[in-house]
Chain A
Amino acid sequence: MSSQDIPEENLPAAQRGTHAPKPADDKNPFADPGLPPHEHRIQDIDERAAKRSERTVALLFTVSMLATIGFIASFVAIPHDKSIYVFPLGHINAMNLALGLTLGVALFTIGAGAVHWARTLMSDEEVADERHPIEASPEVRAKVHADFKQGAKESVIGRRKLIRNTMLGALTLVPLSGVVLLRDLGPLPGTKLRHTLWNKGKLLVNMNTNEPMRPSDIAVGSLTFAKPEGLDEHDHGFQNEIAKAALMLIRLEPEAIKDKRELEWSHEGIVAYSKICTHVGCPISLYEQQTHHALCPCHQSTFDLADGARVIFGPAGHALPQLRIGVNDEGYLEALSDFEEPVGPAFWERG
């Protein structure tokens, strides 16, 4: 049925609550056009169309119910480790797919049903609701003021100054208990940031094999990560310690090392640098063996490992700290001291 051949007798006779237009006058310089005349939906006029809408909404809600049952059924029936192949998604966990699809359908059809219901069957007449003034009437205001004065007088707060002053004192002090709890945010770091586990005589242990290394193990162009001897991955506090002690070992041709101090602190071209970026402390080990640059993945700070780990790009404030290394009597690589400066990002008292 098109909108043109609706029988006249079906049209509602009057338009209720229409906001009437008002011409401009002295008080309101702008004419109020009022609301346009209300137009009816096909469902307002034709009962059969309304029935159809009802059935559509009911169908959507029923689909939602079935999908919820499907959700529960797939949770119960599908083994959680079963995988299937679905064309654009590839190999995917069957249960996850079923749960997602059924829950998605269940939620979507509730929403779609509600929208369709509101648009076709709920009343769509525009009703103007005039605002009332925010200000209270003068009588109410006068009464509230009088009550307040009366209350203040009866509480004797103006006369008994001792009560007033102690009350103010109590109210001022009580928030301090909240402030003092902040003390539990932890003890101050003290000198913890200035020291790592590295120390004179500590062997450099390969993170991959958990074995100490000899200089001959480290080839030119290779990259190795080392931890101080005695630090085990399963130790309590391993993460806290390795966060400061993480070390990357590379080997350069000694003549390729441009920085004099770097050469002095190296051993046969093997140099050891802190793996912690001096900007905000990301692990930095994107090492390019031909350019000798190390790149930080977080903010692209780039360090030239052949030139004292000087910052050549990015926001890092200072060079990566170098660890002085040598070999012990048995020919294993060892640290000759702790890092000379605090590793990682700068902090207030770093100096």
Chain B
Amino acid sequence: MKKLSARRRHPLAALVVLLLALACTGGLYAAFAPADKAQADETAQSLAIDEGKKLYAVGCASCHGTGGQGTTDGPSLVGVGAAAVDFQVGTGRMPAQQPGPQVPRKKVIYSQAEIDQLAAYVASLGAGPAIPSEEKYGPEGADSAKGGELFRNNCAQCHNFTGKGGALTHGKYAPTLEDVDPKHIYEAMQTGPQNMPSFPDTTLSEQNKKDIIAYLDAVNSDDTVNPGGLSLGGLGPVSEGLFGWIFGLGGCIAVAVWVAARTAKAKKS
């Protein structure tokens, strides 16, 4: 004891005491806090489900049925998962405006908090893909070159080589991927909204999805450098040829007509 009191004025004594105190607090927190947090989470989760159920009854139940079982107007939502809800409502596709070949992207009418509540409710109906966390679609560790290969193999047939979109049958179309939130791209691949096939993690791994998103960010965002400028929609040789024939040749003809129409004679006839 004497030894201890003799060293209490040692310059490092304060540091040792501080470290002990920190370790003690940390240990206590680790022992007690997680349980509290889990309880809090569970409460918050059930609250979110309750709130989501109310929102669902108002905005979704008329087509998807009171329990999400689906009606003739809308498919069943059992097992579609939170990711599908976050995609459909988060891009404004749902609630749908009118029946038609395809429900278009439009103004988002729910706040993200409400979307999360709706997603929580629909996820409680049956297990399905969850909303991805940011590190799944963020740019860290992504290989955009590999993403390009994967995109051309899996996606480009409908969405065009740089994600400009394209036409399908009977009024359906693959929408452009410009300005689409990476989270929504991820969710679309996971859940296969509307007529798009899904690309689940078992056949297109999480890393693959991340690479594809990095590729799209490289070729199809506001900062994309277009070496030639004036991409004309990036639709390929049809639009480029049309532009060349109409504006290129048309411009030459217009100049020729303008030159020939003006007489160089001193007396204008």
Contact = CB atoms under 8 A, between A and B. Distances in A.
Interface residues of B, number: 38
A96 B229 contact: yes
A209 B208 contact: yes
A219 interface: yes
B228 A92 contact: yes
A288 to B, nearest CB: 4
Interface stretch (B32-40, B44-52, B113-121, B188-196): B188-196
A213 interface: yes
A36 B175 CA distance: 64
B169 A208 contact: no
Interface stretch (A26-34, A38-46, A136-144, A337-345): A38-46
A289 B192 contact: yes
A88 to B, nearest CB: 8
A73 interface: no
Interface string A191-218: 0000000000000001111000100111
Contact of A290 (B157, B195, B203, B229): B195
B229 A288 contact: no
B225 interface: yes
Given A86-B229, A96-B228, A250-B197, A222 B192 contact: yes
B153 A225 contact: yes
Contact of A222 (B166, B203, B259, B268): B203
A91 interface: yes
A24 interface: no
A40 B223 CA distance: 58
B266 A39 contact: yes
A223 B227 contact: no
B199 A223 contact: yes
A163 interface: no
Main SS of chain B's interface residues? loop
Nearest to A45: B266
Most B Cβ at <10 Å: residue of A93, A124, A283: A93
Contacts of A119: 259, 264
Interface string A219-237: 1011111000000000000
Interface string B145-160: 0000010011001100
A273 interface: no
A101 to B, nearest CB: 11
Contacts of A295: 168-169
A115 B153 CA distance: 52
Contacts of A219: 198, 200, 202
B202 A218 contact: yes
Most A Cβ at <10 Å: residue of B157, B168, B223: B157
Interface in A92-142: 92-93, 96-97, 115, 119-120, 124
A96 B228 CA distance: 7
Contacts of B230: 88-89
B266 A6 contact: yes
B227 A208 contact: no
A93 to B, nearest CB: 4
B205 A209 contact: yes
B267 interface: yes
A313 interface: yes
Given A91-B226, A93-B227, A250-B197, A224 B158 contact: no
B224 interface: yes
Interface in B175-217: 192, 194-200, 202-205, 208
Contacts of A297: 157, 166
Given A92-B226, A217-B203, A300-B169, 19 more contacts: A39-B266, A41-B265, A89-B229, A91-B223, A92-B227, A92-B228, A92-B229, A96-B228, A97-B229, A115-B259, A206-B203, A208-B154, A208-B203, A209-B204, A209-B205, A209-B208, A213-B203, A250-B197, A290-B194
5 contacts: A91-B223, A208-B150, A221-B198, A223-B198, A288-B195
Pairs A-B, 6 closest by C-beta atoms: A223-B197, A217-B202, A89-B229, A92-B229, A288-B195, A3-B266
Interface of B: 150, 153-154, 157-158, 166, 168-169, 172, 174, 192, 194-200, 202-205, 208, 223-230, 259, 264-269
Interface of A: 3, 6, 39-45, 83, 86, 88-93, 96-97, 115, 119-120, 124, 206-209, 213, 216-219, 221-225, 250, 283, 285-291, 293, 295, 297, 300, 302, 313
